[in-house]
Amino acid sequence: MTDARPVTRPWLALAGLTLGVMVTNGFARFAYGLILPAMKSELDWSYAQAGWLNTANALGYVVGAVLTLLLIGRIAPARLFSFGLIATTASLLATGVEATMGWQTFWRIAAGVFGAMSFSTASVLTARLFPGDAKRNALAIAILFGTGGGLGIMLAGASLPLMLAAWGPSSWRFGWYIIGGLSVVAMPLGLWSARALHVPAPRNTAAGGLALRRLWRELAGYAGFAMGYIVYLTFLGAWMADQDASAPLIAGVWIILGVALILSPFVWRGVLARHRSGRPLAMILTGIAIGSALPVVLPAGGAVVISAIVFGLCVFMAPGAITSFIRQNLPPESWAATMSLFTVVFAVAQTIGPFAAGAIGDATGNIGSGLLVAAAILLTGAALVAFQKPLD
């Protein structure tokens, strides 16, 4: 990977990669939380059925992460990123075509498979933008995850709740067409960025057995993140609908969440640059847990707004913390394989969250119970990763 061409416009390339994450994370994985209440109402789903579709997406993510791990040594990361971006966009557009559970499951899985390819390789490409500059690298990695997902959530929040309120639950198909169309608009710059970077397939992708045995706490913390964070983004809209929140309030909370996500890189860049240990991830997981529990513990007043701010300032910095940890502790030739391994662990763990939280919500009659369980899992992950030391 050391013979990659220098990037003459690294910030523009970062913008394209960030738009790719907007599609694969903000749209393909999390906009569903806004469309879910309408689909649940129109199609008469239980919480478990609604949660299943995000679990299906997560299962697809497992397949995509494993495929990326197998292919990263043979195919250039830029090509995997580009293919994943194109295929994810097509999957979003296809999701709105048919209402049957089989059709929805297939395309949610497909979006997970292809989204994982783009997401995993986007971090590898970003880590190469500013060689030798730790502060700019930390900022670039933070922007990739925070701004990419945040922009997607903000755009979805600004459009989907109001559209669904105006046109009714039966208009859920147009929600998928809206985010699919926005993905088409974002695609050209993302593809240009991949061509501009053109990082070759790594010659040596071994992550190193000794290193993996010494970073198990970081892996465990990331698994806790995966199980916990997805519950909030899947069911926050449904929880607010159950509380009779208005469409403008739901839209406002999601816009605030997206803005907080966009600002999060500037909050965390110093922390990511200074620490080689598991401390940044532990702090981030604690913030996500607080944000997840707040609207349930304090359902009255502006707690849900505070929750969106706290959650948004933390949630997408977890992948940034992992990427920064890998970059500061491991040799460059092992970055791609190690990041792919973390993505596999993340993908497997997040399959549990949505369906389990939905089942808890059905059993208790309140999806808030699932949010509280997710907060407990996040705090457990934070406690484990707090003891992760830097690697020599």
Q: State the pLDDT at residue 301.
A: 64
Q: State the pLDDT at residue 144.
A: 87
Instruction: Identify the DSSP state of 200.
Output: P
- With a CB cutoff of 8 Å and minimum separation 6, the contacts of 166 are none
Q: Confidence class of residue 118 from pLDDT cuts 50, 70 and 90?
A: very high
Q: Confidence class of residue 22 from pLDDT cuts 50, 70 and 90?
A: very high
Q: State the pLDDT at residue 210.
A: 46
Considering only residues 6 and 144, tell me which one the structure prediction assigns the higher pLDDT.
Answer: 144
Q: Which of 31-40, 87-96, 154-163 has the highest mean pLDDT?
A: 87-96
- With a CB cutoff of 8 Å and minimum separation 6, the contacts of 128 are 1, 4, 7, 197, 199
Considering only residues 81 and 211, tell me which one the structure prediction assigns the higher pLDDT.
Answer: 81
Q: State the pLDDT at residue 206.
A: 53
Considering only residues 180 and 72, tell me which one the structure prediction assigns the higher pLDDT.
Answer: 180
Q: Which of 88-92, 192-196, 216-220 has the highest mean pLDDT?
A: 88-92
Mean pLDDT of 217-224: 93
Q: pLDDT digit string (tens) for 312-344?
A: 999 888 988 998 888 888 887 777 778 778 878
Q: Where are the domains of the chain?
A: 10-385
Q: Confidence class of residue 5 from pLDDT cuts 50, 70 and 90?
A: low
Superfamily of domain 10-385: MFS general substrate transporter like domains (1.20.1250.20)
Residue written as token pair 């939905």: 358
Q: Confidence class of residue 6 from pLDDT cuts 50, 70 and 90?
A: low
Q: What are phi and psi for residue 139, nearest 5 degrees?
A: -65, -45
CA angle 267, 123, 313 (to 5 degrees): 25
Q: State the pLDDT at residue 240.
A: 86
Rounded Cα distance, 76 and 78, in Å? 5
Q: State the pLDDT at residue 200.
A: 62
Instruction: Identify the DSSP state of 334.
Output: G
CA angle 143, 149, 153 (to 5 degrees): 135
Q: What are phi and psi for residue 75, nearest 5 degrees?
A: -120, 135
Q: State the pLDDT at residue 1.
A: 41
Q: Confidence class of residue 211 from pLDDT cuts 50, 70 and 90?
A: low
Residue written as token pair 């600004």: 158
Rounded Cα distance, 288 and 269, in Å? 17
Residue written as token pair 């809206």: 178
Q: State the pLDDT at residue 299.
A: 74
Q: State the pLDDT at residue 98.
A: 92
Length of the chain: 392
Mean pLDDT of 233-244: 83
Contact 292, 231 (CB under 8 A): yes
What CA–CA distances, in Å, run from 176 to 15, 95, 100, 129, 171?
A: 24, 6, 15, 33, 10
Reply yes or no on whether the pLDDT at 111 is more than 90. yes
Rg for the chain, CA atoms, rounded: 19
pLDDT, the chain, mean: 86
Q: pLDDT digit string (tens) for 263-315?
A: 988 888 788 878 888 899 999 999 999 999 998 888 776 889 999 999 999 98
Mean pLDDT of 95-102: 93
Considering only residues 48 and 91, tell me which one the structure prediction assigns the higher pLDDT.
Answer: 91
Q: State the pLDDT at residue 2.
A: 43
Tokens of 170: 């039966």
